[in-house]
């Protein structure tokens, strides 16, 4: 049973545009929601993370929006750059177990 | 560089064989996690160790086992390998919520 659903599977954005990736979760016990960025041949790297006590978190050009009642969260990349081209994964975990449940990933291509 | 070291980077073996993947966590991190990444299943949690003890288990096959040693490095043992075990295997370590991933071991079972 997939507990974190991610969309879209792939995304093409023009340089300077806004990239939006969405995730939905099922388990209301999840209390930590990170986004990871993965480049080809590399391991995933933490980009930004949020806990459900806030509705938004911004770090530079990256923003997480969180809707607890809808059990959804999204990643917004403002002023997207070709260097942002990568695969993005949302994830969720519960308590202190640290076990991350990942979405299926979104391949982002930013065209110059 | 995440500080997590995985060896080997690539491994090619045959069906029915056994392999060992090694992970050295970041200095001071007590938790080690193993994940499998494949095209059809995505990133799947396998198992977590904390300071030498098994902490959490995912959908890890019985043919797979792991351990964490007193120096905190971890090994993932995969036995009776099948074609479907071909995947990227990642190790991650953490000292809090943030998990730092290694570059992975690409396993090809022929």
Between strands A10-14 and A106-111, the pairing is parallel
Between strands A86-92 and B74-78, the pairing is unpaired
Cβ contact (<8 Å) for B103 and A98? no
Contact B92, B4 (CB under 8 A): yes
Any idea which residue has 């969180």 for tokens? A66
User: How many other β-carbons are positioned within 10 Å of the β-carbon of residue B67?
Assistant: 14
Instruction: With a cut of 80, say whether residue A91 has pLDDT above it.
Output: yes
Cβ contact (<8 Å) for B104 and A102? no
> Does B55 reach chain A within 8 Å, measured CB to CB?
yes
| pLDDT of B83 | 96
Residue A98's pLDDT band, with cuts at 50, 70 and 90, is confident
Nearest CB among B2, B56, B94 relative to A45 is that of B2
Cβ contact (<8 Å) for A44 and B101? yes
Any idea which residue has 């260097």 for tokens? A83
Q: Compute the nearest-CA separation of A25 from chain B (Å).
A: 16
Q: What is the pLDDT along chain B (110 residues), one digit of tens a residue?
A: 889 999 999 999 999 999 999 999 999 999 999 999 998 888 999 999 999 999 999 989 999 999 999 999 999 999 999 999 999 999 999 987 789 999 999 999 99
> Does B94 reach chain A within 8 Å, measured CB to CB?
yes
Q: How many residues in chain B?
A: 110
Contact B46, B58 (CB under 8 A): yes
| pLDDT of A96 | 63
User: How many other β-carbons are positioned within 10 Å of the β-carbon of residue B56?
Assistant: 17
State chain A's mean pLDDT as an integer: 94
Nearest CB among A42, A43, A99 relative to B58 is that of A99
Cβ contact (<8 Å) for A99 and B48? yes
CA A14, chain centre distance (Å): 19
| pLDDT of A2 | 57
């Amino acid at each position: 049973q997939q507990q974190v659903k991610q969309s879209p599977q792939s995304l093409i954005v023009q340089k300077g545009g806004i990239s939006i990736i969405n995730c939905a979760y099922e388990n209301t016990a999840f209390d930590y929601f990170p986004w990871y960025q993965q480049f080809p041949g590399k391991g995933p790297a933490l980009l930004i993370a949020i806990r459900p006590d806030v509705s938004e978190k911004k770090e530079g050009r990256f923003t997480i929006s969180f809707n607890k009642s809808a059990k959804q969260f999204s990643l917004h990349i403002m002023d997207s750059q070709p260097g942002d081209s990568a695969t993005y994964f949302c994830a969720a975990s519960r308590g202190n177990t640290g076990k991350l449940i990942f979405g299926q990933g979104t391949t982002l291509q930013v065209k110059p | 560089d995440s500080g997590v070291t995985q060896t080997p980077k690539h491994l090619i073996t045959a069906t029915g064989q056994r392999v060992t993947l090694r992970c050295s966590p970041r200095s001071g991190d007590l938790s080690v996690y193993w994940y499998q990444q494949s095209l059809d299943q995505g990133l799947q949690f396998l198992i977590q160790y904390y300071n030498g003890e098994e902490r959490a288990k995912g959908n890890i096959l019985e043919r797979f086992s792991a351990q964490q040693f007193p120096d905190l490095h971890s090994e993932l043992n995969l036995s009776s390998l099948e074609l479907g075990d071909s995947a990227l295997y990642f190790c991650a370590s953490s000292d809090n919520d943030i998990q730092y991933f290694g570059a992975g071991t690409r396993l090809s079972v022929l």
